[in-house]
Structure 1
Amino acid sequence: MPESYFTLVKKMSKNLKLYFTASFFAYLGLGAGNVLVNLYLVEKGFSADVVGMYQSIKLFTTGLLALPAGMVCNKMGFKWSLKQGLFFIGTGILILVFFDHQLFVYLSSFVWGLGLSVFAVSAPPFIQENAEPRQRQQAFSINFAVMMLSQMMGNLISGRLVEFLPYETLFSYRITLGLFTSFTLVGILFLTGIKETIKPFNFSLQGQLKGIINLATKNNYVPKLLTCHILIGVGAGLIVPLLNVFLKENVGATIGQIGTIMSISQTTTAFAALMAPFIVLRLGKIKGISLLRLSSIPFLLAIALLQNVYVVGVAVFIRSSLMNMTHPVESELSMGLVEKEERAPLSALLKTMDSVGRAFSVLLGGYLMSNIGYTIPYYLTCIIYVFATILFYKWFNHIEKDKSQLTQNLQM
Structure 2
Amino acid sequence: MRYWLRILHDFGHINPKEFVSSFYLSYHGFHVDAKKAILAATLNATSRSFSGFVLVLYLASLGYTLRDIGLITSIGLMCGAASLLPSGRLADYLGRARAMVCSVFLSIFGTVIYIFSNSFFTFVLASSTMGIADSMYGPAYSALLSNKVSDKRRNYLFGAERFSTMVGSTSAIFFAGLVPDILEKSGYTLGLGFRIVLLISIFVLICEIPFLYNIADRDNADELENLDGGSYTQPSLEKVKDYKTESKEDYIVENIIDDKRIDKKEKGKERFWILDKESTSYIAKYTFANSLIAFGAGFVIPFMQLYFTIHYKAPMAIVASVFSITSLLMAISYLLVPKLAERIGSIRTIVFTQGVSIIMLIAIPLSYPYFTLAAIFYLVRTVLMNAASPIGTSYILGCVKKNERAFAASIITLLYNVSNSLSPPISGWIMANYNMDIPFFICALFYMVACGAYYFFFENKDRK
Answer with 1 or 2: which has the greater Rg. Answer: 2
Q: Quick check: 194-203 or 110-119, which moved more?
A: 194-203
Amino acid at match of 1:110: S
Q: Which residue does 2:156 correspond to in 1?
A: 138
Q: Which residue does 1:79 correspond to in 2?
A: 97
Shift in CA distance, 200/134, structure 1 to aligned 2, threshold 3 Å = closer
Structure 1: distance between partners of 2:70 and 2:265 = 41
Task: Report the Cα offset of residue 202 of structure 1.
Answer: 11
Q: Which residue does 1:260 correspond to in 2?
A: 321
Task: Report the Cα offset of residue 75 of structure 1.
Answer: 2.1
Equivalent pair of 1:52/1:362 in contact (CA under 8 Å): yes
Amino acid at match of 2:209: I
Q: Which residue does 2:298 correspond to in 1?
A: 237
Aligned ranges 1:179-190 → 2 under 5 Å? 179-190=200-211
Structure 1: distance between partners of 2:32 and 2:81 = 30
Q: Quick check: 125-134 or 382-391, which moved more?
A: 125-134
Aligned ranges 1:155-304 → 2 under 5 Å? 155-165=173-183, 166=186, 167-197=188-218, 207-209=271-273, 211-212=274-275, 219-304=280-365
Unaligned runs of 5+ residues in structure 1 are 403-412
Aligned ranges 1:11-410 → 2 under 5 Å? 11-165=29-183, 166=186, 167-197=188-218, 207-209=271-273, 211-212=274-275, 219-307=280-368, 308-402=370-464
Task: Report the Cα offset of residue 115 of structure 1.
Answer: 0.8
Equivalent pair of 1:75/1:203 in contact (CA under 8 Å): no
Equivalent pair of 1:93/1:108 in contact (CA under 8 Å): yes
Structure 2: distance between partners of 1:133 and 1:398 = 20
Count of aligned pairs: 399
TM-score, normalization: structure 2?
0.82
Task: Report the Cα offset of residue 401 of structure 1.
Answer: 3.1
Amino acid at match of 1:181: I
Task: Report the Cα offset of residue 7 of structure 1.
Answer: 4.3
Equivalent pair of 1:30/1:181 in contact (CA under 8 Å): no
1:35-71 Cα deviation digits (max 9, x unpaired): 1000000000000011111211222122221111112
Query: SS at 1:207's partner residue?
Result: coil
Equivalent pair of 2:51/2:197 in contact (CA under 8 Å): no
Structure 2: distance between partners of 1:387 and 1:313 = 25
Q: Which residue does 1:409 correspond to in 2?
A: none
Amino acid at match of 1:222: I
Structure 2: distance between partners of 1:17 and 1:96 = 32
Q: Quick check: 293-302 or 258-267, which moved more?
A: 258-267
Task: Report the Cα offset of residue 400 of structure 1.
Answer: 2.4
Q: Which residue does 2:226 correspond to in 1?
A: none
1:323-370 Cα deviation digits (max 9, x unpaired): 101111011110011111121111001001111111001111111111
Unaligned runs of 5+ residues in structure 2 are 1-17, 220-262
Structure 2: distance between partners of 1:40 and 1:97 = 10
Equivalent pair of 1:26/1:185 in contact (CA under 8 Å): no
Structure 2: distance between partners of 1:92 and 1:174 = 13
Shift in CA distance, 337/245, structure 1 to aligned 2, threshold 3 Å = same
Task: Report the Cα offset of residue 251 of structure 1.
Answer: 1.2
Task: Report the Cα offset of residue 286 of structure 1.
Answer: 1.4
Equivalent pair of 1:64/1:352 in contact (CA under 8 Å): yes
Shift in CA distance, 367/284, structure 1 to aligned 2, threshold 3 Å = same
Query: SS at 1:100's partner residue?
Result: coil
What is the RMSD of the two structures over their aligned residues, measured on CA atoms? 2.2
Shift in CA distance, 368/7, structure 1 to aligned 2, threshold 3 Å = same
Amino acid at match of 1:397: E
1:95-142 Cα deviation digits (max 9, x unpaired): 101111111110110011011111111111111101133221100111
Structure 1: distance between partners of 2:72 and 2:51 = 13
Amino acid at match of 2:207: V
Q: Percent identity?
A: 21
Structure 2: distance between partners of 1:70 and 1:283 = 32
